Chain A
Amino acid sequence: MREEERGKEQEKMAAAGGDSSGRGESGKGSERGENIKTAVQLEGVSKRFGYFFALKSVSLSVKVGEFVALLGPNGAGKTTLIKIIATQMKPTAGTVKIFGENVFQNSSKTAELRREIGLVAHESFLYDELTVRENLAFYAKLFSLNKARERFCGSYESYKSYESCEGCGSSWEETLSELVEFLNLGRWLDVKAKHLSYGLRKRADIARALIHRPSLVLLDEPFGGLDESSRELLAEYFKCFKGKTLILSSHSYEWAKRVCERGILLERGEVKQEICL
């Protein structure tokens, strides 16, 4: 019975953008499958803040569809690494490739790559004065959701059509309602973000990060500050991201193990060990 329920949940998530083989993304998945095998590749990446090296010549590779955990104590460089992969921070040295594209080489290409990345950071990206629905709509429109989908349908004609892509699947409102149902946010959609509890805000933030159906999901300490039941709930959500590439950072080996297949242990900005979780 439990397996059956999980199967249904996974189907629902696939429809909401969790599975690249899902509706509206089949082209994307197969195309990537044929051309690109590596989602993230870092070579000799270092980051220095003044005299302090947050990362020292980090090299790692994450395959498409892989779930990887960045493990390590506070100050190990997990957040810096996530920010660099999310194209939010330029490394001092080294190269970063996302889906085979060299990030930071060309700013317009870097901007375009951001369509493929969903980031849940320490800080919430939600605006306190806006409701959850308004926040999600704001980000969905900024990612011009349907415009992104047009590329996969090969029907790019005019920029204006971003708000209604005929014959290209669902609108962002549909994605929103699917995510809201999956993350159980329905009751809080019209509540201002400032009135949400920490756990609810985290869930709304995850919906925000997934609203544009990214292929690469980056989660910075997603379990931090949550109670056991919320952690359980989130771990279950993340397991349903099959088809996407997921990188999460965590202090907790136990929780990382619940979601990821591989762990990369960071210590003082260096990769110490790769672990099979």
Chain B
Amino acid sequence: MPLTKIEKWDASTGATTAAFATLHTALKIAEKDLRVEFRRSYELLSVLTFSLASILVCSFVSGASATPVVSAAFLWTILFFASILVFTTSFTREADKGTLLGLKTIPCNALAILLGKIFYGAALLFLVEIVLLACAVVFLNAAFRAEILFVFFLGALSLASAGSFISALVMFSEGKTLLLSFLLFPVSLPVLISGSAATAKMLGGSTLGEIMPAIELLIAFLLLIFLVMSLTFEFVIEE
């Protein structure tokens, strides 16, 4: 009996190909989102302006004598509020304009859409972090070390995971902006605690080995949220 086209396809694909297809789709979605973001530049500019203004205010308060602990607290507080600004529009814009339905027509796992949003969010947050770090070096007299970028990268990825997932959770509800800010704080607490602690130690001169517990906590958070997302996202995206 001849096989149908779909049976043939199933026979030729494996889990690796499916994972690769999910990653490929996620990267394409992230690329599209970044392109749209840079063309709408006013949203990105508002996040950067907020970050710059906040760090300037912090430098007025603490002067050039900010301790590493204070500088880290400033950086992560600003980053948290910047992430609220980024994730308020992440899924909501797609849902409001109807393009989310277009993404749902893609022949891929629903998780690919979320991963795309995470990559996009992480890229934007990382950009904000770099600007913040540069400002911290100039205005707060913080000591720059290349290893800190690794902590920031993990922090951006973790915050983006939590933020994108919550953004998807609240996208169909009323008062989504308020809900996002309320939910993001408790969910991202492990990221904020470990990220700020690691940053403070790094700014104080600790090595990467000395901040390993904080890095491990960030990685554990990433794994946990990825597990939750992969189990629930298919239901979250249902209207």
A binds B: yes
Could you list which residues of chain A lie within 8 angstroms of chain B, going by C-beta atoms? 28, 31-32, 34-36, 86, 88-90, 99-101, 107-109, 111-115, 117, 119, 121-130, 134, 138-139, 141-144, 151-152, 156, 159, 162, 208
- Contact, CB under 8 Å: A28 / B5: yes
- Cα A5 to Cα B234 in complex, Å, equals 47
In the complex, A54→B135 CA distance in Å? 56
Of B36, B39, B104, chain A has the most CB atoms within 10 Å of the CB of B104
- Chain B residues within 8 Å of A117, by CB: 105
Does B101 contact A128, Cβ atoms closer than 8 Å?
no
- Asked whether any CB of chain A lies closer than 8 Å to the CB of B174, the reply is no
What residues on A are CB-neighbors of B6 within 8 Å?
99, 101, 109, 112-113
- Across the interface, which residues of B come within 8 angstroms of A88, CB to CB? 101, 104-105
Interface secondary structure of B, over-half rule:
helix
How far in angstroms is the closest Cβ of chain B from A271?
A: 23
Residue of A nearest to B40 (CB): A129
Query: Which residues of chain A come closer than 8 Å to B97, judged between CB atoms?
Result: 123, 127-128
From B37, which residue of chain A is reached at the shortest CB distance?
Answer: A129
Report A-chain residues with C-beta under 8 Å of the C-beta of B101.
88, 119, 121, 123, 125
Return B13 CB to nearest CB of chain A, in Å.
8
8 Å CB contact of B107 from A28, A35, A112, A130 = A112
User: A88-B101, A121-B98, A129-B36 known; A111 and B4 CB under 8 Å?
Assistant: no
Are A86 and B105 in contact, CB atoms less than 8 angstroms apart? yes
Does B45 make an interface contact (CB < 8 A)? no
Whether A144 contacts B9 by the Cβ 8 Å rule is no
Contact of A125 among B105, B108, B239 (CB under 8 A): B105
Q: Which of B8, B9, B21, B29 contacts A159 (CB 8 A)?
A: B21
- The distance in angstroms between the C-alpha atoms of A152 and B24, with both chains bound, is 22
Which residues on B sit within 8 Å (CB–CB) of A123? 97-99, 101
- Which of chain B's residues have a CB closer than 8 A to the CB of A121? 98, 101
Contact of A35 among B4, B24, B36 (CB under 8 A): B4
> Which residues on the B side are within 8 Å of A144 (C-beta)?
21, 24
Question: In the bound complex, what is the Cα–Cα distance between A32 and B2 (angstroms)?
Answer: 10
Q: Report if B106 contacts A (CB, 8 A).
A: yes
Q: Which residues from chain B contact A208 at a C-beta distance below 8 Å?
A: 102
Tell me which residues across on chain B come within 8 A of A111, comparing CB atoms.
Answer: 106-109
- Expressed in whole angstroms, the Cα–Cα distance for A34 and B109 within the complex equals 30
Cα-based distance from A104 to B12 in the complex (angstroms): 21
**Contacting residues, chain B, for A109 (C-beta < 8 A):** 6, 10
B18 within 8 A of A: yes
Which of A32, A111, A117 has the largest number of chain B CB atoms within 10 A?
A111
CB distance from A201 to the nearest CB of B (A): 12
Name B2-35 residues within 8 Å CB distance of A.
Answer: 2, 4-6, 8-10, 12, 17-18, 20-21, 24-25, 28-29, 32, 35
In the assembled complex, the Cα of A139 lies from the Cα of B107 at a distance in Å of 11
Do B35 and A151 touch across chains, with their CB atoms under 8 A apart?
A: no
Residue of B nearest to A139 (CB): B102
Cross-chain contact A31 with B5 (CB below 8 angstroms): yes
Cβ distance B77 to chain A, nearest Cβ, rounded Å: 31
A112 to chain B, nearest CB (A): 6
Distance to closest chain A CB from B157 (angstroms):
23
Q: What residues on A are CB-neighbors of B108 within 8 Å?
A: 111, 142
Contacts of A86 in B (CB 8 A): 105
Closest chain A residue to B104 by CB distance? Answer: A88
Of chain B, the residue at the smallest CB distance from A108 is B18
With A125-B105, A143-B106 in contact, is A35–B39 under 8 Å at CB? no
Q: State the CA gap A76–B238 with chains docked (Å).
A: 22
The 6 closest A-B pairs by CB, nearest first: A123-B98, A125-B102, A114-B107, A129-B39, A129-B36, A115-B107
A171: shortest Cβ distance to chain B, in Å? 16
Contacts of B99 in A (CB 8 A): 123-127
Assuming the contacts A28-B5, A88-B104, asked whether A142 and B35 have C-beta atoms less than 8 A apart, the reply is no
Interface-centre pick from B6, B9, B10, B39 (highest chain A CB count, 10 A):
B6
In angstroms, Cα B223 to Cα A198, docked, is 45
Shortest C-beta distance, B222 to chain A (Å), equals 24
